[in-house]
Chains A and B, each alone.
Chain A
């Protein structure tokens, strides 16, 4: 006969875990090194020293504060790895290593932290980008929301690779690597506690392998611009590209992949998927003569299986203002460059960047 053993109280993060003392060391060895350890990180030096890397370095940083911290398709840990890797990849860099900074709220269940660390390990292992340095701080309850993560990343940019929003050229084809809005709508519906039928999942995914395959398989210099349309969505990223290059962009609504569940949720909540965040998609602006080849290459990668050409960069940009309000005052409208959408029914509308947070409408 088995005896009922009283359950141990839930172990949580205490302020002690951030003290730098024994509790910190225990957390580092029993949790962080257990899951993330490698020769550089496990040395526990004050900074990671990398072997001499010849070439140009790409360096980026991003902070992750998503709420909820767990969601279908990923969690804050997968985002922190994939997001920073993708920022490196969008300049054509091959990611080498990441840093991991954690700000933990006192009272965070240790089990939640371990689950996140395991996600970070899995994402780091599957993308082949190690965590080489890290830091943890604990703040009193209420001074942070459960867990905040910062990751920085270093990558290597090969000779001849020049990818930037300023390099977009008239005639470029615009490829979107898959369906848009999956991450944004998943978080919004979770946050609001809305249970919608259908399989809404974040698209959190690292894109550097696909980007390296594109760079290897296409004529050098033919990929002009790469952008991951995260917050602000495809609309805002395209506006940024149009703004940086001073060119005009035309996209076709019927060509833009959106999963039916995402579309349905957007219809119900009054949201536009063009403005929803993505965490595993990229926009690629490529020379027109290799566009089909680039599309085929992308589609041959699992990350880009649903890629589609969604539009074209046209000349004739440098329009002074979308709203004709620039004559007498500082217009806040897009100063240069513009994005125009051809709608399903054959009409056109101007796409502007996201203003404020997307809010659901009342009716």
Chain B
């Protein structure tokens, strides 16, 4: 398959691995921020092929995983209101709220909930069902937000007033700033998320690199993309540099996508946001502006977000911070599996625990 096979070429991979080994002069820890990276590294079997000096730690970049239990509770509240119809991303379906209830449970009890592939599908659902209040729980980072914003604009243009979004959208840089302030993390390299970077641009990591003496490399998601990024990183670390480099030039520019950012800024404004496991981080979320309040489910339906209660024993918070690896969690693989997840990191296919469970840990 074009644009895929060439980036999974075994010979090229072997060559890059050789180069990476040569560039790695001492042990170092890298955080891969994005859940898609975590999954790609496991799925391709790359984890077992890397030089042993490189320690990979998964970061907080799985949008489902960082959605707080209180926000799931709010989604459940909305699902159970009369006349509502939720349109949700598939991997949100099985995430437990504070008391272990999921949207899948709510649907089994009679709530109207459909899995959709984009917010636009939710808008279509609203158009077809004018008697219902169709609500799209907005989750995700800079990659997802422009699509949701465009849907809100489209709803306005088409005068569809029974479509709403409950925004829990998040931005990537503030939590990274907060995490990197913790000396316990002790990472020297950051594998920056390719999709998010296509919007925010490689330049966005400049302050992180400078303030934390961190080698930041933007990476794509194929095995050779990740290897190329790690080679650049190993060289920076070996030479004592801490710069931002872009190893995903076929998708990411230095400035990013200004048009998408402008559109997001038209509809959303920064707000303090609660993250699962990380607590509330100032300015890390996006709320719908007053001018678009008609599409804001939280204000229109007067939903109060309850206080989060984390499941007892669940270490998702520590795992999202990169402090603990999944097998150290007492629930992992016993009470918490992808079939009956307790914490969000086990639910999403991009979640760190799900990746460790699905693809095993014996390769490293």
User: Which residues of A are interface residues toward B (Cβ below 8 A)?
Assistant: 192-194, 260, 263-264, 267, 269-270, 272, 321-325, 328-333, 341-350, 352, 355-356, 359-363
Contacts and interface: CB of A to CB of B under 8 A. Distances in A.
A344 B10 contact: yes
Contact of A349 (B92, B139, B144, B360): B360
Contact of B337 (A269, A341, A346, A355): A355
Given A192-B117, A322-B362, A345-B49, A363 B195 contact: yes
Interface string B9-22: 11001100000000
Contact of A362 (B63, B338, B339): B63
B60 interface: no
Nearest to B340: A332
A199 B65 CA distance: 35
A360 B334 contact: no
6 contacts: A192-B121, A193-B121, A324-B361, A347-B44, A355-B339, A360-B91
Given A345-B8, A345-B46, A346-B10, A363 B332 contact: no
A322 B360 contact: yes
Contact of B363 (A333, A346, A348, A361): A348
A114 B181 CA distance: 68
B339 A346 contact: no
B108 interface: no
B45 interface: yes
Contacts of A328: 334
Contacts of A360: 89-91, 115, 117
Contact of A332 (B36, B49, B64, B337): B337
B117 A350 contact: no
A359 B90 contact: yes
Interface of B: 1, 4, 8-10, 13-14, 36, 42-49, 63-64, 89-94, 115-117, 121, 139-141, 143-144, 195, 223, 327, 332-335, 337-339, 348-350, 356-363
Nearest to A338: B360
A311 to B, nearest CB: 15
A340 to B, nearest CB: 9
A352 B333 CA distance: 12
Contacts of A331: 333-334
Contact of A348 (B9, B45, B332): B45
A349 B63 CA distance: 24
A361 B49 contact: no
The 5 A-B pairs with the shortest beta carbon distances in the complex, nearest first, are A347-B45, A350-B360, A359-B90, A355-B338, A325-B333
A325 B334 contact: yes
B144 to A, nearest CB: 6
B4 A267 contact: yes
A361 B89 CA distance: 7
Contact of B117 (A194, A272, A343, A344): A194
Contacts of A343: 43-45
A254 to B, nearest CB: 8
Contacts of A270: 349
A325 B45 CA distance: 21
A260 B2 CA distance: 10
Contacts of B141: 363
Nearest to A264: B1
Contacts of A345: 8-10, 13, 44-46, 49, 223
A267 B305 CA distance: 36
Contacts of B350: 361
A323 B333 contact: yes
Nearest to A360: B90
A260 B5 CA distance: 11
Contacts of B64: 362
Contacts of B117: 192, 194, 269, 360
Given A332-B333, A350-B360, A356 B338 contact: yes
Contacts of A348: 45, 48, 363
Contact of B47 (A193, A264, A347, A352): A347
B363 A359 contact: no
Given A324-B327, A363-B143, A347 B1 contact: no
Contacts of A350: 359-360, 362-363
A329 B350 CA distance: 26
Contacts of B89: 360-362
Contacts of B9: 345
B1 A267 contact: yes
A238 to B, nearest CB: 15
A359 B140 CA distance: 16
Contacts of B143: 363
Given A192-B121, A325-B334, 5 more contacts: A323-B332, A345-B46, A348-B48, A356-B94, A360-B89
A361 B349 contact: yes
A168 B360 CA distance: 24
Contact of B49 (A260, A346, A356): A346
A273 to B, nearest CB: 12
A349 B359 CA distance: 6
Contacts of B63: 362-363
Contacts of B116: 192
Contacts of A361: 36, 89-91, 348-350
B13 A346 contact: yes
B32 to A, nearest CB: 15
B311 to A, nearest CB: 16
Contacts of A269: 117
Contact of A333 (B8, B48, B333): B333
Contacts of A322: 360, 362
B77 to A, nearest CB: 21
A360 B327 CA distance: 25
B151 to A, nearest CB: 14
A323 B10 contact: no
Given A324-B327, A362-B140, A362-B144, A347 B349 contact: no
Contact of A352 (B195, B334, B349, B358): B358
Contacts of A330: 334
Contacts of A352: 357-360
